[in-house]
Amino acid sequence: MEPMIVEKPALQIVGLETSFIHALSSDYNATEVITPLWHDILQRRDEIHNPIDDAMYALLYARPENERSHPDKRQYIAGRLVDSVKNIPNGMTTYQIPPTRFAIFDHRGPISQIAETCKKIYCQWLPSSPYEHAGVADIEHYDHRFDGETKDSVMGYWVSIK
């Protein structure tokens, strides 16, 4: 599990947002809240103006602790990266990421196993690497290689590092 280390410029996402409890928590609930969010955004993806490519993305970030109802609560935005945040569709949100260094991993196999990939990244790779989590945001990248629940499916998982 060796990632590609990449410096990315500032990024902007437009999409739908929800809260969830992350995969390392015993209260993990991502599947229950993120699956319906993806259903909704896929029906509305063409409403998003100025996409930078055909891929879909998800942004994962944490609000400050004093704004969370649970210590493991995170925010999840499913949508598209854009080159302009003009004309945000009704009910959607935008989030801007500063220039950031990412460790980019490939998750191979069914999306239902993404929690296992995250556990390997955060519990094995990151502690043994020379990096720390930057706390900026993590990004899921869904391009032409992604097809959901098959063993051949591939999606990118970007971890912000410093």
Give the CATH number for residue 49.
3.20.80.10
Question: Are residues 53 and 95 in contact, defined by beta-carbon separation less than 8 angstroms?
Answer: no
Query: What's this model's pTM, rounded to 2 decimal places?
Result: 0.91
CA distances from 101 to 7, 104, 146, 149, 159 (A): 4, 9, 23, 29, 8
User: Among 29, 10, 7, which residue's Cα sits nearest to residue 96?
Assistant: 10
Predicted confidence (pLDDT) at residue 121 exceeds the cutoff of 80? yes
Q: How high is the pLDDT of residue 61?
A: 92
What distance in Å separates the CA atoms of residue 18 and residue 147, rounded to the nearest whole number? 23
Reported as a single tens digit per residue, the pLDDT across 43-66 is 999 999 999 999 999 999 988 888
What residues have CB less than 8 Å from 61, skipping those under 6 apart?
Answer: 74, 75, 95, 136, 137, 138
More confidently predicted of 25 and 66: 66
What distance in Å separates the CA atoms of residue 53 and residue 80, rounded to the nearest whole number? 8
How many folded domains does the chain comprise? Answer: 1
Q: How high is the pLDDT of residue 99?
A: 97
Question: Are residues 50 and 86 in contact, defined by beta-carbon separation less than 8 angstroms?
Answer: yes
Q: How high is the pLDDT of residue 73?
A: 87
**What average pLDDT does this structure show over 121-138?**
96
Range of the domain at 15: 4-161
Res. 70 pLDDT band, cuts 50 70 90: confident
Place of tokens 């970030």: 61
